[in-house]
Structure 1
Amino acid sequence: MIVGIDLGTTNSLAAVWQEGRATLVPNALGETLTPSCISLDDDGTVLVGRAARERLQTHPERTAASFKRYMGSAKTLALGERDFRPEELSSLILRSLKADAEAFLGQAVEEAVITVPAYFSDAQRKATQTAGRLAGLKVERLLNEPTAAALAYGLHQRDAETRFLVFDLGGGTFDVSILEMFEGVMEVRASAGDNFLGGEDFLMALVDLFIEKAGLPASVRQDRLFLQRLLGAAERAKKALSEQPKAEIKVAYKGQDLSLAIDEPMLEHACATLLKRLRMPVERALRDANLRSAMLDNIVLAGGATRMPMVRRLATTMFGRFPAIDFNPDEVVALGAAVQAGLKARDAALKEVVMTDVAPYSLGVAVSKRLPDGSTTPGHFDPIIERNTTVPVSRVKNYVPISEGQHCIDLHIFQGESRMVRDNIHLGELRVDTPSANIEDSAVDVRFTYDVNGLLQVEATVLKTRRTVSVVIQGNPGLLTDAEVAERLDAMQGLKIHPRDTLENRTTLARAERIYALLRGQVREWLSAQILRFESDLATQDMRLAAQGRARLEAQLDQIEQSGAVLADDDH
């Protein structure tokens, strides 16, 4: 069975194609959204999803979130005394989603179509595939997130000719894709994006505003416990502004109760720079597709951050029309991934749908250029595959050494659009040994092959000897070797994952612990007694008694939060 997975910065979810439609998979809590959050419990057990997110405020040193932003890098994140790479943490999310899908379907799940931001680099895509391997999934297909959203949207438009733009603002990334649908063919015309622009950045802008208005020192950002509480309070206020004109951020700091009343204009002013950054990828995609906004039939919103009123106003202003709201923006990417899974499984209901995609960025090498006076200047970017070229694609260019007698050519491979490679992203390098007799005999053909998964293969052929060096980019410090993957896989097998059948109880306890840490006085003592009562219910191992105790404690926690007794909160 193949599942579609939206592996998100803030939330992740799975969907399957069955009985002619895409269906979301519920997790152990009966929810379709699983927070992309991992926590290591005191006994070494791994908590995934909402139970882990509840511990962000109480155990920040043992909890990790937003690690998708570090995919493809060598960065590690510490949970207690153990370090994890981003792909290892992502694999734990994938393992959880895989277990949910197997429980939902009643059969084993061995393969997945996983979505990635359109602007993810080669290294980030390979890291995503590695995360799948570590989770026990075969991942032959990666799907760009805006393309996935377009698949979900376009499936209902397959008999029409339409041209639309997908505006995908998630928790950590922003992507734009322009697509055309005609006679069952969905063609991506252009993609653009920003890998470091998402809902998390808008939230941090609000946190920065609070710190500034409250007159707190800059060092407060190093206090992980306080920062997580402030982030929770800011998130609640940001969500409240989506439904009401004003909201308030309330949090305690060193025994002092701090608050800040905010409204939509204040939030929009704080996020002005971020809103401006949203315009640039849209304008680039329109230019590359040779279109004006008036030539689009519709605007499709994807990603939870598009719920923000200021983002919807910006989209309405830019395109001169209201965006389509046919789909839940949190779910549309996962639904599209399920469609792609159905296509891969050759489902009869999808046999008439054909999809093409593009390379969202230019790929090339660093070259030296000769000046009129005969001298050379290094560090220039020479594209081999231009951005928004239809994929799969293979392109070749010829290069010669700078000077006579060179024994090798070092190919430095880059992604980007800047004239100088110093302003682009270094993907890797390849050394090609060459004959040293003269420049002409040392000429090399360099072929770039870019596939539908967004993975790049580089081939260099010495023309005189016809010797070919063929690699999938080496030398990137963010990539694991096959041996390292096997070693990490063995280590991951030793991790204890909290069982699905008791996850509801653990999530309720984590929520109670978070709220307890935020309370003071008599209500805190009272809550402590209620937590002990629930733990006593669990100790009986009577499932009926445990369920009753959980429902009772959840209702009590709801009452505390609704009463305003908690000074800092998250999105419950």
Structure 2
Amino acid sequence: MIVGIDLGTTNSAIARWGDGGPELIPNSLGEFLTPSAVSLTDNGDVLVGRAALDRQPVHPDRTATAFKRLIGTQKPIQLGRSSFTAEEVSALVLKSLKADAERHCGEEVTSAVITVPAYFSDRQRKATRRAGELAGLKVERLVNEPTAAALAFGIAEREDRDPFLVFDLGGGTFDVSIVEIFDGVIEVRASAGDNRLGGEDFNEVIAGIAKERLRLPLNPAQDKLREQIRAAAERTRRALSEAETATFELVWRDTLLSTEITAEEFEAAAAPLLDRLREPVLRAMRDSKLYADAMSEIVLVGGATRMPIVRKAVTRMFARFPNASVHPDHAIALGAGVQAGLRERKADLAEIRLTDVCPFSLGVEVAEHDASGTLHRGLFQPIIERNTVLPASRVHCFSTVHPQQNRIVFNIYQGEARTVAANIRLGSVEIAVPPRAAGEITVDCRFTYDVSGLLEVDVTVPETGEKRVAVINEGEGLDRAEAEERRAALAALKIHPRDQAANQALIARAERCFESFVGERRARAGRLLAHFQGVLATQDPRAIAEAMAMVTEQLDAIEGERYL
């Protein structure tokens, strides 16, 4: 059985494709949400979920929460005398969910689709995949969380929808995706996010107000006091979602400490966090080339969107009320359940297709001369830009920078910064080149990337035919047969758009029009030809399709002008 899992910062959930729709699977307590908490007892037993979370105020040194924020890092998580990585602790949560599903469904769970924040880096995605494998799961696919939410939203009615925006604010991360649904295709147009913004940060705002008023230590050394402040802040934040005033209270050293906090005070103190919600939204709209008024819906997902101050901020941002019809805590798991059904090729999902985008730009390290001739090293040259629809294949031509240079090393990076030092290094490819004058030898570097995180880098020297291939695989656990199958699927993408038959035919037609006419019609044909060739150079399938339709229509008009 394949399941879908929402591995959340605060809570996790598991679902499967049932009788005509996704179904959440309850845990051993009959609850659909399992707290993402792990605790180690004095005798070495591991507790996961509600039992672990309840121990945190009393045994903070033996309990871990919010460890999703550390996944992909080497920062240790200490549980008593034992030290774990974030993926090892995450694996314990995944293993517990797997056991819940097997008990409830009476079937063995062999594989899973696991959701991740859209803005997770390659390193964080690899760590999530490793966590699944440590839990005994074959990870079929990692799905971006807002994409999963869009699946849950789109599958409910299965009708075409103009672009809508999924606003996903969870316990630890914030994601935005712009999605369109047409003819059974759920297409993600763009994604953006902030991996360090979520409900936990709003808890810190409440804690900050209380610390100042109650004269609590700003950075309490005692683990128990720190956890009691955090738990009290979360209770207060949740209460402010239902009322205009809430009481922050805790007992410390046999003394009850309490203070009233109003929604207005909370909103004022949280203003910097609310401001941070805006930039990912703008980035996603810029990348998709869609304005706010083009969004048919603003769909709220994630438990932190229950906060009135967040809903007010979204309403102000878009000048309309958001859609809160999707269950904020269940939507991502339900979407993962839909994706699990797609992986199992369920008959009632036969007409559904999902496309996703590359969350970060992928490129190589380059050196460039400035106007004065000074060579600057360590610069980033994107090859596949962020929010390119996947799967995708792009090629870029590079040349040597030194006289008699006899090799080129392509260091491969993921990120958006101009300098590679601020991006994430993924690997490298080295190839020999004939020693010539600087700039005389060119090398083609092609990136081919799929939705599962398989990046294939082909480097070719046209002059010698020398070729090198490197495969950078997000799914390190793939066996050879699966890797070869996916590489074969990618091979079909490695035809430059300018070499595709339909595009070549349109170029030939424009050239014929240029030759056949004079005056304004010839000039128009020339402009259309130059425009289409320029769009082909972008290697963007959507832009090419739109340009093809426009150029065809214009050529029809040119050839349709009659004089007889």
SS in 2 for 1:349: helix
Residue of structure 1 in register with 2:185 after alignment: 185
Q: Contact between 1:122 and 1:455, CA under 8 Å: does it hold in 2?
A: no
> Do 2:370 and 2:376's aligned partners in 1 also have CA atoms closer than 8 Å?
yes
d(CA) in 1 for partners of 2:149, 2:70: 23
Asked if the contact 1:125/1:455 (under 8 Å) is kept, the reply is no
Alignment match, 2:275: 276
Residue in 2 that maps onto 1:33: 33
Give TM-score scaled by structure 2 length. 0.80
Please show how residues 360-375 of structure 1 align to structure 2 within 5 Å. Answer: 360-375=359-374
Mean Cα deviation higher: 322-331 or 408-417? 408-417
The 8 Å contact of residues 112 and 138 in structure 1, kept in 2 or not, is answered as yes
Retained in 1: the 8 A contact 2:342–2:349? yes
- Give the drift of 1:38: 0.9
Match of 2:447 in 1: 448
- Aligned residue for 1:43? 43
Asked if the contact 1:9/1:36 (under 8 Å) is kept, the reply is yes
Deviation at 1:369, TM superposition (A): 1.1
TM (norm. structure 1) is 0.79
The one-letter code matched in structure 2 to 1:354 is R
Structure-2 residue corresponding to 1:468: 468
The answer to whether the 8 Å contact 1:189/1:289 transfers is yes
Q: CA deviation at 1:406?
A: 4.6
Query: Does the aligned pair in 1 maintain the 2:166–2:176 contact within 8 Å?
Result: yes
For the 8 Å contact 1:199–1:305, the answer to whether it is kept is yes
Aligned to 1:295: 294
Relative to structure 1, the CA distance from residue 58 to residue 410 in structure 2 (aligned partners, 3 Å threshold; closer, same or farther) is farther
Per-residue deviation at 1:443? 4.5
Contact in 2 for aligned 1:77/1:85 (Cα 8 Å): yes
The count of aligned residue pairs is 477
Name the counterpart of 2:426.
428
User: How far apart, in 2, do the equivalents of 1:470 and 1:209 lie?
Assistant: 52
Partner of 2:91: 91
Return the letter of the residue paired with 2:301.
A
| Partner SS for 2:466 | coil
Residue in structure 1 matched with residue 243 of structure 2 by the alignment? 244
Q: Within 2, Cα distance between the matches of 1:123 and 1:362?
A: 14
Shift of 1:462: 4.8
Q: Report the equivalent of 2:314.
A: 315
**Is the CA contact 1:123–1:427 (under 8 Å) kept in the aligned structure 2?**
no
Q: Return the offset for 1:465.
A: 5.5
Partner of residue 226, structure 2: 227
* 1:102 Cα offset (Å): 0.6
Residues 459, 468 of structure 1: 8 Å contact kept: yes
| Structure 1 SS opposite 2:93 | helix
Partners of 1:332 and 1:277 in 2: CA distance: 23
Match of 2:529 in 1: none
Which consecutive unaligned segments of at least 5 residues does structure 2 have?
Answer: 479-564
Q: Which amino acid aligns with 1:327?
A: V
| Bigger shift: residues 207-216 or 81-90 | 207-216
Kept in 2, the 8 Å contact 1:161–1:183? The answer is no
Please say if residues 39 and 52 of structure 1, whose CA atoms lie closer than 8 Å, have aligned partners that are also in contact: yes
Q: Provide the secondary structure at the position in 1 that maps to 2:3.
A: strand
- Partner residue of 1:543? none
Offset, 1:217: 3.6
In the alignment, the residues of structure 2 paired with residue 100 and residue 343 of structure 1 have an alpha-carbon distance, to the nearest angstrom, of 22
CA distance in 2, matches of 1:63, 1:18: 35
Give the % identical residues. 52
Distance in 2, matches of 1:127 and 1:459, equals 26
8 A Cα contact 1:177 1:190, kept in partner = yes
Matched, 1:172 2:172: yes
Q: What's the Cα RMSD here?
A: 2.2
Structure 2 contact 169–305 (Cα < 8 Å) conserved: yes
Q: Secondary structure at the match of 1:467?
A: strand
Deviation at 1:113, TM superposition (A): 0.8
Displacement after TM superposition at 1:256 (Å): 4.5
1:45 positional shift: 1.1
Answer yes or no: is 1:397 the counterpart of 2:364: no
Q: Does the Cα contact within 8 Å between 1:6 and 1:337 map onto a contact in 2?
A: yes
Residue deviations 1:485-533 (CA, integer Å, cap 9, x gap)? xxxxxxxxxxxxxxxxxxxxxxxxxxxxxxxxxxxxxxxxxxxxxxxxx
Task: Give the superposition deviation at 1:473.
Answer: 6.7
> Which residue does the alignment assign to 1:385?
384
Instruction: List per-residue Cα deviations over 1:11-60 (Å, max 9, x = no partner).
Output: 10000111111110000111110111111111111111111111111111
Aligned-pair CA distance for 1:399? 2.7
Deviation at 1:453, TM superposition (A): 2.6
Aligned residues of 2:15 and 2:24 also touching (Cα < 8 A): yes
Matches within 5 A, 1:93-112: 93-112=93-112
Return the offset for 1:244.
Answer: 1.2
TM superposition shift of 1:157: 3.2
Name the larger-Rg structure: 2
Alpha-carbon distance change, 292 to 465 in structure 1, aligned in 2, over 3 angstroms: closer
Aligned to 2:562: none
The equivalences for 1:140-179 within 5 A come to 140-179=140-179
**Closer/same/farther in 2, CA of residues 190 and 219 from structure 1, 3 Å limit:** closer
User: Offset at 1:140?
Assistant: 2.1
CA displacement at 1:91 relative to structure 2:
0.9
Counterpart AA for 1:430: S
8 Å CA contact retained: 2:115, 2:148: yes
Q: Unaligned regions of 5+ residues in structure 1, if any?
A: 483-572
Distance 1:112 1:345 in 2: 11
SS class of match (1:429): strand
What residue in structure 2 maps to residue 71 of structure 1?
71
Task: Within 5 Å, give how 1:112-127 maps onto structure 2.
Answer: 112-127=112-127
Residue deviations 1:36-91, cap 9 Å, x none? Answer: 11111111111111111111111111111111112222222111122111111111
